[in-house]
Chains A and B, each alone.
Chain A
Amino acid sequence: MSDLNTQAVERYRNNFLKEVEENVEEGHWVKMCMQCGVCSGSCPFGPHWEHPPQEIFMMIRAGKRDEVLASDSMWMCTSCYNCIVRCPRKLPITHIMHGLANYAHRLGIAPKGQPTREFAKLFWDNMMKKGRVNEMKLTIGHYFRNGIGAGIKEAMAMKDVGLGMLKAKRLNPMELAGGHGLKDLKGFHAMVAKAKEIEDRKKGFVK
């Protein structure tokens, strides 16, 4: 467990709900759930959730910190917003799931190798490079996330898709060499760094 973890655990041992309220994006909504389950039933990836959102909310109240944060359930969110529009208590469930995933990720408790977790990191890093997403690099990066061998295999399996995109001029191999980028990349980086610094300070992620 990292320092970050120990610290959080020390502070919030007694009350995971409070920890979530303070550190998770939109976490203060968790207490408002009335356990109707409409979110759990609305998710397109529902069957793949070990713990659906409403259950996660109950687990948070029950203090099941490790089970929640180590779960890969939140990473199943496709951001379809079905749960949000149907929730009778207007909980921003999508965002809470994102928030929990992010929190677990930052704490390092999130499941290792969870594909969406990996992809999310890849995406952000890719975007941060130039301020805009480089789809070619993102794609290649994704397929090769598990090393060259696995990457070639996966990429080969998807080669028809890729070739189709290339043919339709919607995936550009030239992007590997550069691609679109911001003029004021420096300002952009400074801004994101500043935002991260404020957030980390606020949420106790200060190293």
Chain B
Amino acid sequence: MSEMKTAAYICKGCGLGERLDAAQLSKVAQKEGKANLVREHDFLCSAAGVQMIRDDIEKEAVTHVAIAACSRRAKAEAFWFPTVAMARANLREGVIWSQPDTDEAREGTQEMADDYVRMACAEVKRMKLPAGNTETGHNKRLLVVGGGVSGMTAAIEASNTGYQVVLVEKSGSLGGWGARLWKRIPFQEPLKDPVETGVTDMIDRIGADPNIKVYLNATLAKTTGAPGRFAAEIAVESGSVAMEEVGAIVQASGFGTYDIAELPELGGGKSPDVVDQAGLEKLAVEAAARGQPIRRPSDGGEIRTVAFVQCAGQRDDTGRHLPYCSGFCCSTSIKQAMYFKDVNPAVDTVVIYTDLRVPGSGEDFYRSGQEKGVTFTKGKVTGVEPGSKGCTVKFHDLILNDKDAAIQADLVVLATGQVPNSGVNVDIPEEEAAKMEVKPVSILNLDYRQGRDLPQLRHGFTDSHFICFPYETRRTGIYAAGPVRRPMDMAQAVEDATGATLKAIQAVENAELGRAAHPRSGDLSFPSFRRDGCTQCKRCTVECPFGAIDEDEQRYPLFNESRCRRCGTCMGACPVRVISFENYSVDTVGSQIKAVDMPDEFSEKPRILLLACENDAYPALDMAGMNRIQYSAFVRVIPVRCLGSVNTIWITDALNSGYDGVMLMGCKHGDEYQCHFVKGSELANYRMSKIDDTLKQLALETERVATYEVAITDIERVPQLINNYAAKINEIGLSPLKGFA
């Protein structure tokens, strides 16, 4: 790497030149910021301004650029210099747009700008241009776990895209639940009749595809590695073990059905004439094989009436059964009623439901069921009583308000829900899991420090918590697809598996280039740690929200770069500050904190440090500026990747160097967390709850450090919080530590 040469550029456009003393800023950059080159420009983001910077990089060998202009969120296309390290001093949104344009305010505004120039110069000097580690793994094969419709779709789609696949299926054949269906619901118009499942075709395609290697009767005994270099130990029932190297994993481990024996009140387990939907498929397949209509299981008698009980053991608020809705079961019952109607319209089929849930064009399938004479009754089933010939279904007819309605049915089908095959719940401590009655079997058997399977979100499903990012995973390179992710029907599973396949492909492509995945996609930086300083406290390995850090044989942290999402939570966790990124470190932030010019204790000018999450709080501040909402000129804002990356040393350093208060603004945490790095904000909050001791040691009031949950939309609230806090500092007085620094 060539010698560091720093350049600072002061923009005078957008009113900066009028509101601020640019010459003074240049002087600050030169004298205090120690920039080797300082230039002012009337319109820095113009083609001419950008060319000027480009020329400096090329001709003057500038390696580090500090741009003092607008927010880093603005004009990113213009200020695009991928070959140099760059810092931005936010003088527009962060200074002149958030400060009043008055004579009285002029001094404070200039001080703010001066500080931001100091900070940018200090930061950029500690930054290195991330090179991206391209040695983290080059394997581009995909491992698909599960050979049902979702898994087969993933394998076929990956192969179609030009990637090789290893497919591991627990049972002796491909097809999963899909293969056990007599017919499926159509995916496209006309949504009128049950259609062939197409599962056999898929199985045949896979069999004929040289890109897809299938292991049947096989499970994952052990999975190690990271995107680009996973190693899977595949245990085959026969006892043999195969090793396969892959770059990414699609987990399509599917679902089980809710056990109807748990539903004795609905006749579950009490009579062969009460079946679940899977049971009815079996009857339909068998009947078709015989070339006869479906007959009553108990005695082979003729079936004249079939009752379908929706939401059996689902949408349960008593805590005994599944609390959620599986989504597919209303259409499935309609389909199954058609099995009877299509053969013999004289058979009565009654669907008893509370809310008929057939969204989208599923409404057409519902209509088709009605056209065929399937009847629908809004009611709550109170009990199913098996008799000698069929059962009595008792229900409360909600329309006719008849609490004692009953149907005599030859066959009762309970629409039970999907129970995900998610493996072990990594959030339940091993000791507790050991006490569980039914011990869950791991699917992936990851040898990760943080558990053997994908973390579960709710009700055992491994879904993403993000509405905008359904494929967000907490184990980089491993993507759940199909009903293991959330309850779904076959059409959605196909779509879901296709999407998950893309993400897996993306993961191997990222790994090859040493590039981060969402949400810091494209980031080439990665964490490194100073081994000699490490105390093996394990906080980094425990707290990494993505399970990226294992422990090596000597119990030092072992960073798996391609699993890492670059949030910096490990950096925030490290008590001895040995973890850093090339462009984001304890130093890049620490130096900014220290670069601020600290007025003395008699100046009546407090300084407040605001560490703002770059995802939500910082944009909110920007938008406050755009809306010209004013806030205290005493605040100095530093964007952080995530509040989880905040190392307490920054707080103590700030207080020691005379700051009067420190504000931390991060995303919402808890059950409905908004933190883009899952746990960063929560961890920061936890860490700050412990900071009181430190404050006491320093003989400081606890109010000197304050943590806030902030949303990106808090455009008015964030300035208000700052102003309130400034008022609070005014109330409790300046820091007694001022002047000792």
State whether these chains interact: yes
Interface of A with B (CB < 8 Å)?
14-15, 17, 31-32, 34-35, 54-55, 58-59, 61-62, 64, 89
Minimum CB–CB distance from B616 to chain A (whole Å) comes to 42
Chain A, residue nearest B375 (CB): A61
A58 CA / B399 CA spacing, docked (Å): 7
Across the interface, which residues of B come within 8 angstroms of A17, CB to CB? 373, 375
Contact of B378 among A15, A35, A64, A89 (CB under 8 A): A35
Contact of A62 among B367, B370, B405 (CB under 8 A): B405
Minimum CB–CB distance from B376 to chain A (whole Å) comes to 7
Across the interface, which residues of A come within 8 angstroms of B376, CB to CB? 34-35, 61
Interface of B with A (CB < 8 Å)?
348, 356, 366-367, 370-371, 373, 375-378, 397, 399-400, 402, 405
Across the interface, which residues of B come within 8 angstroms of A14, CB to CB? 348
Contact of B400 among A31, A62, A89 (CB under 8 A): A62
A61 CA / B377 CA spacing, docked (Å): 8
- Starting from the known contacts A31-B371, A61-B375, 17 additional A-B residue pairs (CB-CB under 8 Å) come to A14-B348, A15-B348, A32-B367, A34-B356, A34-B366, A35-B376, A35-B378, A54-B399, A55-B399, A55-B400, A59-B400, A61-B377, A62-B397, A62-B400, A62-B405, A64-B400, A89-B367
Contact of B370 among A15, A32, A54 (CB under 8 A): A32
A64 CA / B400 CA spacing, docked (Å): 11
Across the interface, which residues of A come within 8 angstroms of B375, CB to CB? 17, 31, 61
A15 CA / B305 CA spacing, docked (Å): 11
A14 CA / B347 CA spacing, docked (Å): 11
Across the interface, which residues of B come within 8 angstroms of A64, CB to CB? 400
Chain A, residue nearest B350 (CB): A61
Across the interface, which residues of B come within 8 angstroms of A89, CB to CB? 367
A54 CA / B366 CA spacing, docked (Å): 18
Across the interface, which residues of A come within 8 angstroms of B356, CB to CB? 34
- Asked if residues A62 and B348 are in contact (CB atoms below 8 Å), the reply is no
Minimum CB–CB distance from B47 to chain A (whole Å) comes to 58
A14 CA / B402 CA spacing, docked (Å): 20
Minimum CB–CB distance from A58 to chain B (whole Å) comes to 5
A32 CA / B363 CA spacing, docked (Å): 12
A34 CA / B371 CA spacing, docked (Å): 12
Across the interface, which residues of B come within 8 angstroms of A55, CB to CB? 399-400
Across the interface, which residues of A come within 8 angstroms of B348, CB to CB? 14-15
Across the interface, which residues of A come within 8 angstroms of B399, CB to CB? 35, 54-55, 58
- Asked if residues B370 and A31 are in contact (CB atoms below 8 Å), the reply is yes
Chain B, residue nearest A67 (CB): B400
Counting from the closest, the 9 A-B pairs by CB-CB distance are A58-B399, A61-B375, A32-B370, A31-B370, A58-B400, A35-B399, A31-B373, A35-B378, A62-B400
Chain B, residue nearest A57 (CB): B399
Across the interface, which residues of A come within 8 angstroms of B402, CB to CB? 62
Minimum CB–CB distance from A186 to chain B (whole Å) comes to 44
Inter-chain contact total with CB atoms closer than 8 Å: 36
Across the interface, which residues of B come within 8 angstroms of A35, CB to CB? 376, 378, 399
Across the interface, which residues of B come within 8 angstroms of A62, CB to CB? 377, 397, 400, 402, 405
A15 CA / B400 CA spacing, docked (Å): 18
A14 CA / B375 CA spacing, docked (Å): 14
Chain A, residue nearest B378 (CB): A35
A108 CA / B213 CA spacing, docked (Å): 74
The 17 listed contacts between A and B (C-beta, < 8 Å) are A17-B373, A31-B375, A32-B367, A34-B366, A34-B370, A34-B376, A35-B378, A35-B399, A54-B399, A55-B399, A55-B400, A58-B377, A58-B397, A61-B375, A61-B376, A62-B397, A64-B400
Minimum CB–CB distance from A157 to chain B (whole Å) comes to 39
A17 CA / B366 CA spacing, docked (Å): 18
A31 CA / B337 CA spacing, docked (Å): 14
Across the interface, which residues of A come within 8 angstroms of B378, CB to CB? 35
A24 CA / B572 CA spacing, docked (Å): 77
A87 CA / B275 CA spacing, docked (Å): 36
A35 CA / B375 CA spacing, docked (Å): 12
Minimum CB–CB distance from B331 to chain A (whole Å) comes to 15
Minimum CB–CB distance from A27 to chain B (whole Å) comes to 13
Across the interface, which residues of B come within 8 angstroms of A32, CB to CB? 367, 370-371
Across the interface, which residues of A come within 8 angstroms of B370, CB to CB? 31-32, 34
Chain A, residue nearest B366 (CB): A34
Q: Which of B377, B378, B400 has the most CB of A within 10 A?
A: B400
Minimum CB–CB distance from A140 to chain B (whole Å) comes to 42
Minimum CB–CB distance from B400 to chain A (whole Å) comes to 6
A54 CA / B356 CA spacing, docked (Å): 17
Q: Which of B367, B373, B378 has the most CB of A within 10 A?
A: B373
A64 CA / B371 CA spacing, docked (Å): 21
Minimum CB–CB distance from B344 to chain A (whole Å) comes to 13
Q: Which of A17, A62, A89 has the most CB of B within 10 A?
A: A62
Minimum CB–CB distance from B435 to chain A (whole Å) comes to 48
Chain A, residue nearest B377 (CB): A61
Across the interface, which residues of B come within 8 angstroms of A61, CB to CB? 375-377
A58 CA / B402 CA spacing, docked (Å): 12
Minimum CB–CB distance from A64 to chain B (whole Å) comes to 8
Q: Which of B356, B377, B399 has the most CB of A within 10 A?
A: B399
Across the interface, which residues of A come within 8 angstroms of B366, CB to CB? 34
Chain A, residue nearest B304 (CB): A14
Chain A, residue nearest B402 (CB): A62
Minimum CB–CB distance from A152 to chain B (whole Å) comes to 44
Chain B, residue nearest A15 (CB): B348
Minimum CB–CB distance from B392 to chain A (whole Å) comes to 15
A82 CA / B317 CA spacing, docked (Å): 40
Minimum CB–CB distance from A54 to chain B (whole Å) comes to 8
Across the interface, which residues of A come within 8 angstroms of B371, CB to CB? 31-32
A197 CA / B397 CA spacing, docked (Å): 40
Chain A, residue nearest B345 (CB): A18
Minimum CB–CB distance from B451 to chain A (whole Å) comes to 47
Chain B, residue nearest A60 (CB): B375
Minimum CB–CB distance from B241 to chain A (whole Å) comes to 56
A10 CA / B367 CA spacing, docked (Å): 30
A110 CA / B377 CA spacing, docked (Å): 26
A58 CA / B400 CA spacing, docked (Å): 7
Minimum CB–CB distance from A118 to chain B (whole Å) comes to 29
Minimum CB–CB distance from B169 to chain A (whole Å) comes to 41
Minimum CB–CB distance from A194 to chain B (whole Å) comes to 32
A62 CA / B399 CA spacing, docked (Å): 11
A34 CA / B376 CA spacing, docked (Å): 8
A61 CA / B348 CA spacing, docked (Å): 11
Across the interface, which residues of B come within 8 angstroms of A15, CB to CB? 348
A31 CA / B370 CA spacing, docked (Å): 6
Minimum CB–CB distance from B363 to chain A (whole Å) comes to 9
A62 CA / B397 CA spacing, docked (Å): 9
A14 CA / B356 CA spacing, docked (Å): 26
Minimum CB–CB distance from B662 to chain A (whole Å) comes to 58
A89 CA / B356 CA spacing, docked (Å): 15
A14 CA / B410 CA spacing, docked (Å): 14
A35 CA / B354 CA spacing, docked (Å): 12
A15 CA / B349 CA spacing, docked (Å): 12
Minimum CB–CB distance from B684 to chain A (whole Å) comes to 50
Minimum CB–CB distance from A20 to chain B (whole Å) comes to 12
A89 CA / B366 CA spacing, docked (Å): 12
A32 CA / B370 CA spacing, docked (Å): 6
A14 CA / B346 CA spacing, docked (Å): 10
Chain A, residue nearest B397 (CB): A62
A14 CA / B373 CA spacing, docked (Å): 14
Minimum CB–CB distance from B380 to chain A (whole Å) comes to 15
A123 CA / B370 CA spacing, docked (Å): 37
Minimum CB–CB distance from A47 to chain B (whole Å) comes to 18
A206 CA / B691 CA spacing, docked (Å): 94
